[in-house]
Structure 1
Amino acid sequence: MRPLGKTAKSTAPSSLATTGIDVLPDGVLEHILGFLPSPEAVRTCVLTRRWRHLWRHATGLRVSCLAGGEAGRDGPPSPKRIRDFVDRILLLRGHAPLETFELRFCTFDEDGDGDDASCLSRWLRHVVECKVRTLRLENVWVDSFELEDRPLVSRRLTRLELEGLDLKNGFCDFSGYPSLQYLVIESCEMWDADKVSSESLKHLRMTSCIFSKDSSTVIHAPKSCFTEAEWTFVQGSCS
Structure 2
Amino acid sequence: MKTGRNHGGKKNVAHDRISSLPDEILTHILSFLSTKEAVHTCVLSKRWRMMWATVPVLDFNLCEFFMDDQNDAPGDYGRKSVVRFERFVDGVLDNRKSTNLDIVRYSCRSQRCEALVYMGWLDRVVLLMPRMIHINFSRVFIFALNDPISCESLQHLVMDF
TM over 0.5: yes
Q: Say if 2:65 and 2:82, in contact at 8 Å, map to a contact too.
A: no
- How far, CA to CA, are the matches of 1:38 and 1:89 in structure 2? 8
CA distance in 1, matches of 2:21, 2:95: 24
Q: Tell me which residue corresponds to 2:25.
A: 28
**1:83 maps to 2:86:** yes
CA positional deviation for 1:39 = 1.0
Which amino acid is the alignment partner of residue 133 of structure 1? R
Q: Which residue of 1 aligns with 2:134?
A: 136
Residue 84 and residue 48 in structure 1: after superposition, are their counterparts in 2 closer, same or farther (change >3 A)? same
TM-score with structure 1 setting the length = 0.50
Structure index of larger Rg? 1
RMSD: 2.7
Distance of 2:125 and 2:20 partners within structure 1? 30
> For residue 16 of structure 1, what is the aligned residue in structure 2?
15
Q: 2: CA distance between counterparts of 1:108 and 1:144?
A: 9
Amino acid in the other structure paired with 2:95 = L
More helix by share: 2
Indicate the residue corresponding to 2:103 in structure 1: 100
Change (3 A) 1:132 1:144: same
Sequence identity, in percent? 29
Any unmatched runs of 5+ in structure 2? 1-10, 68-77
Question: How do 1:53-132 residues align onto structure 2 when only pairs under 5 Å count?
Answer: 53-66=50-63, 69-70=64-65, 78-105=81-108, 106-107=113-114, 109=116, 120=119, 122-132=120-130
- How many residue pairs get aligned? The number is 136
Which structure 1 residue ranges, 4+ long, deviate > 6 Å from structure 2?
none
Name the structure 2 match of 1:3: none
User: For the Cα contact (< 8 Å) 1:46–1:52, is it kept in 2?
Assistant: yes
Deviations 1:7-66 (A, max 9, x none): xxx894xx725xx32232112211221221111101111112211110111111111122
Match status 1:46 vs 2:43: yes
Distance 1:11-1:54 versus aligned 2 partners, 3 A rule = farther
Task: Structure 1 unaligned segments of length 5 or more: list them.
Answer: 1-9, 110-115, 165-239
Structure 1 pair 153–135 and aligned structure 2 pair: CA distance change class (3 A)? same
Task: Looking at secondary structure, tell me which structure has more strand per residue.
Answer: 1
Given the two structures, how large is their TM-score scaled by the length of structure 2?
0.71
Tell me if structure 2 keeps the 8 A contact 1:57–1:97: yes
Aligned partner of 1:146 in structure 2 is: 143
Q: Distance in 1 between matches of 2:49 and 2:66?
A: 21
